[in-house]
Structure 1
Amino acid sequence: MTDSNTDIAVVSLAQPLESIADELGRSFEEYGFAVIRDHGIPQELIDRAEKLSKEFFALPDDAKKAYHIPGGGGARGYTPFGTEKAKDAKVHDLKEFWHVGRELSAGHDLAKYMADNIWPDEVDGFRETFTELYAAFEQAGGRVLEGIALHLGLPRDFFAATVEDGNSVMRLLRYPPLEGEEAQGAIRAAAHGDINTITLLLGAEEAGLELLTAQGEWKAVDPPEGALVVNIGDMLDRLTNGKLRSTTHRVVNPRGEAAYRARYSMPFFLHFRPDYVIETLPSCIDPEQPQDHPEAISSHDFLMQRLREINLA
């Protein structure tokens, strides 16, 4: 059964954060998701990025596969159709994607955790546009984290140091039209939880994104045009001892005419710094069960553990 998103929070980042923090937090606690309007990412930039993303994915397969890095875990460049598989899924997802990561200066202390970006020669303006979009996503994500900090009773800038130079990744996604035997038994993105701190998603207006409620029902996420869908990742769930929920979600196959056209989206997976130790916030530990929280782990070790589970490492 699938329900609509009538009580998933829809908030404006143009409002003072103090006025929206608790509504944002309520939605993250109940659903793990919220919808953000007035996020500050210029529409012109979004339109330009969408155009260039489509240009890249329209290239011949051989040209795209030249940017695949075997053994790279999909961290940078191109990941071909039929590679990523959700944890415990029996078949691969029906998608292909491109990753853009953080660019660090030579000799940076965290450079060993982050590979250099690669860029397609065939698409003019690709590097400039997606470098600009990466920075815009990061700025919007930082503001969402400020709202989360206020909701948790933390200093407003609590998360700034935890994500500074974090291993955040921007993904350009293409779900091809559904046709042929390769689509049998598979969906565009099988049920999964995100690994990272928070995810910001552009391009969720087309039907298909669904979350699994605590009651075990699938609930459609239907944002207004141009809005960001934001969800909690496993790292923030772990930090808050489950107070903020990393919710299982999926992208289901469409019906009717939508099945015969490709679907595009651009999620930004905002990560903690690789050397940040995820240790439960004291305010999120139940005084009656003080040991009822996960052990501390670095965000890098947690990431590697999870990438192995989804066939990317």
Structure 2
Amino acid sequence: MNTHSTVLPVLDVRDLRAGGEQKHAFLTQLAEAARTVGFFYVTGHELCRLQQQVLHKTKQFFALPAAQKQAVAMVNSPHFRGYTQLQGELTQGKPDRREQFDLMQEQAAVHLDPSDPQWWQLVGPNQWPQSLPGLKPVALAYQDALTELTVDLLGAFAESLEQPADVFGETVQKPYTHMKLIRYPGASDQEAGERQGVGAHKDPGYLTIVTQDQQSGLEVLMDERGWVTVPPLEGAVVVNIGELLELASDGYLRATYHRVVTPAAGIDRYSVAFFMAAQLDSEVPLLQLPDHLKVKALGPSADPENPLFYQVGENVLKGRLRSHPDVAAAHYIKRAS
């Protein structure tokens, strides 16, 4: 495996908000980063204090006794919220070497009729560990701040594609957001096998934002260079394009395969991954690109193992069922049969 160190494009969101030539330069950089890599850093945001708080609470959560973490196990939740133990989630059919805690927006569960689509079951309350009451306010505040940043970036993508700035507006009035607190325990080469912290995959939403600690491990697949590392950059978050944005732009913007490699023995890596999709009951808008951009659109990726759906709830649920077969068996397969 040849891995090359690199620094992705770094965009300062203050340039976007400044307007004028600074904003124009930001939009140009954004479009180029999205076309060539699909990944970039964002700086200049106001997340630094919250970043440190949420990473601290993440470490506290994973330090809890196993019984306290299992008390909020995801298999208890038809909404895919809660704790997943080491190797409890699958990517490309293989178990990931990580443990994680998933949360979404705090909502009441939806009463479902048999004729309702199953993806409505994704809506509901989070599970929270009773012994760590400080986790809830910190995690929800960080999720809200990341939602605001992604809405700003979506508007910037719209303008860079020469669309009205609010072209995604109706689909993100109440967006479906999903955040993971993650621990990657270190392992020897023999223990880690192929060293799959997370296997190669694309994300199903509009945009993903990753907050890293000081340990590297995230890698992105670049056509000419192969797997390239995405090292932590102080004060920055990493942003990548998801499948919904690829669909909306007819493939002009491309979701990129990425993975996480297990750290070496004796080293734990902590991160927070935030996924922003459109509202579950919406459909991805197909943007009418100007001719000079349309000719560069390659169409959405065609992968029979990973079909893409314009209906957002269907696309999101597809990924959840595939990644967590235990939750699927407990709460979905019986209803479908």
Task: Report if the CA contact (8 A) 2:195-2:261 is conserved.
Answer: no
Give the whole-Å Cα distance in 2 for the aligned partners of 1:264 and 1:250: 15
Give the whole-Å Cα distance in 1 for the aligned partners of 2:309 and 2:196: 34
1:288 deviates by: 7.7
Secondary structure at 1:14 match in 2: helix
> What amino acid is the match of 1:282?
Q
Instruction: Give structure 1 stretches of 5+ with no counterpart.
Output: none
How many pairs align? 306
Select which of 239, 255, 265 maps to 1:246: 255
* 1:15 aligned onto 2:21: no
Cα shift readout 1:235-284 (whole Å, capped 9, x = no counterpart): 111221221111001111334xxx31211000110111001112432228
Structure 1's 177 and 254: CA in aligned 2 closer, same or farther, altered over 3 A? closer
Task: Report if the CA contact (8 A) 1:277-1:299 is conserved.
Answer: yes
Specify the alignment match of 1:211 in structure 2. 220
TM-score, normalization by structure 1: 0.87
Matches within 5 A, 1:27-38: 27-38=33-44
1:121 deviates by: 0.8
TM-score, normalization by structure 2: 0.81
Superposed CA RMSD: 2.9
Structure 1's 263 and 104: CA in aligned 2 closer, same or farther, altered over 3 A? same
> Once structures 1 and 2 are overlaid, which stretch shifts more, 303-312 or 156-165?
303-312
Select which of 266, 274, 287 maps to 2:272: 266
Matches within 5 A, 1:94-243: 94-104=97-107, 113-179=122-188, 183-203=192-212, 205-215=214-224, 217-243=226-252
Structure 1's 293 and 137: CA in aligned 2 closer, same or farther, altered over 3 A? closer
> Once structures 1 and 2 are overlaid, which stretch shifts more, 109-118 or 297-306?
109-118
Give the whole-Å Cα distance in 1 for the aligned partners of 2:97 and 2:300: 35
Task: Report if the CA contact (8 A) 1:280-1:293 is conserved.
Answer: no
> Once structures 1 and 2 are overlaid, which stretch shifts more, 72-81 or 220-229?
72-81
* 1:44 aligned onto 2:49: yes
Structure 1's 39 and 168: CA in aligned 2 closer, same or farther, altered over 3 A? same
1:149 deviates by: 1.1
Secondary structure at 1:138 match in 2: helix
Instruction: Give structure 2 stretches of 5+ with no counterpart.
Output: 17-22, 113-118, 302-307, 329-337
Task: Report if the CA contact (8 A) 1:74-1:99 is conserved.
Answer: no
Secondary structure at 1:168 match in 2: strand
Task: Report if the CA contact (8 A) 1:102-1:165 is conserved.
Answer: no
Structure 1's 182 and 62: CA in aligned 2 closer, same or farther, altered over 3 A? farther
Select which of 307, 310, 316 maps to 1:303: 316
Give the whole-Å Cα distance in 1 for the aligned partners of 2:10 and 2:164: 24
Structure 1's 5 and 146: CA in aligned 2 closer, same or farther, altered over 3 A? farther
Specify the alignment match of 1:78 in structure 2. 83
Which is richer in helix? 2
> Once structures 1 and 2 are overlaid, which stretch shifts more, 13-22 or 134-143?
13-22
